Amino acid sequence: MSRVKIYTTPTCTYCTMAKNWFRQQHIDFTEINIARDTKRAEEVMRKTGQAGVPVIDVNGKMIVGFNKPEIERALHR
């Protein structure tokens, strides 16, 4: 079973698209709003070297942006 975390901000269009896609695919995820949680924002920046969102963590594999092919590979689909 995959563990998926999505690091988001409230105004991010691609974050919304990613969350909707996961819901349509019936994939559970945990959303982490980095606009409200500066420690998590620093954590994701340290792990990826990127400040953009969404950042999608699939079982520890960090994917920057809503890259469906990369997400599907990480999910082993």
Is pLDDT at 77 greater than 90 in this prediction?
Answer: no
Backbone φ and ψ for 18, nearest 5 degrees, come out as -65, -45
State pTM to two decimals.
0.91
Q: Walk me through the domains of the chain, giving residue ranges and CATH numbers.
A: 4-72 (3.40.30.10)
At 18-53, the pLDDT tens digits run 999 999 999 999 999 999 999 999 999 999 998 899
DSSP element (H, E) containing 57: strand 55-58
The two tokens of residue 66 are 């809503």
Distance separating alpha carbons of residues 22 and 36, to the nearest angstrom: 22
